[in-house]
Amino acid sequence: MNVYKGKITFNKEQCVLCQTCAFVCPAGAINISCVEPHKSYDFIIWHNTCTVCGNCTYFCPTGAIALSNTLAEATPQSEKYTAITANMVEYGECQKCHEPMINVPQTMLQKGFKNVSEELVSLFNLCPKCRRDHTFAKRAL
């Protein structure tokens, strides 16, 4: 008899590497480790350790982690000791200076701003230094 356990899913395009999920996970089922500083990070969810408490989904500011409620995505009990979700989260680069940076997902911009225009999106494609310089130049001129 197969008993099914819900599964935590991960969308690496939404992740900003804040590591809140790993911090709030009481079971220690989420591991984020540096592969190459300011380039890429391994993001692993150990489904055998996960208690499906939902803390990671509740506290994730971007919605990168979600709890699946469909049976097709659930992990069968027979695979509970080998099932993991593994992804590599990579830094993007500043559109102006090409320094590595974490991209701000559209969902996060929508949470913070009433109207998300193309100008706002392009502003958040700049690193914090270039964003400051751009904003200052625009106000000073």
DSSP character string of 100-130: EEPPPPHHHHHHH-SS--HHHHHHTTS-HHH
* Residue 37: partners with Cβ closer than 8 Å, 6 or more residues away: none
Token code pair at residue 1: 């008899």
Domain shared by 111 and 80, yes or no: no
Least confident of 19-23, 41-45, 78-82, 130-134: 78-82
Domain shared by 31 and 67, yes or no: yes
How large is the average pLDDT for residues 50-72? 84
How large is the average pLDDT for residues 14-21? 92
What CATH number is associated with residue 77? 3.30.70.3270
Least confident of 19-33, 40-54, 65-79, 83-97: 65-79
Kindly report, residue by residue over 62-113, the tens digit of the pLDDT: 999 988 766 555 566 666 667 788 888 889 899 999 999 988 888 888 888 8
Q: Which domain holds residue 107?
A: 92-140
pLDDT of residue 22: 95
pLDDT of residue 75: 60
Is residue 54 over pLDDT 80? yes
Q: Which residue has the tokens 């699946």?
A: 68
Number of domains into which the chain is organized:
2
Domain shared by 112 and 67, yes or no: no
Distance CA 70, CA 121 (A): 33
Q: CA angle 126-129-130, nearest 5°? A: 45
- Mean pLDDT, the chain, whole residue set: 84
pLDDT of residue 60: 93
Kindly report, residue by residue over 126-135, the tens digit of the pLDDT: 999 999 998 8
pLDDT of residue 4: 41
Domain shared by 10 and 40, yes or no: yes
Q: Note the Cα 128 to chain centre separation in Å.
A: 19
Fill in the DSSP letter of residue 46.
E
pLDDT of residue 77: 66
Domain shared by 85 and 103, yes or no: no
Answer for the pair 65, 57: CB distance below 8 angstroms, yes or no.
yes
Domain shared by 75 and 17, yes or no: yes
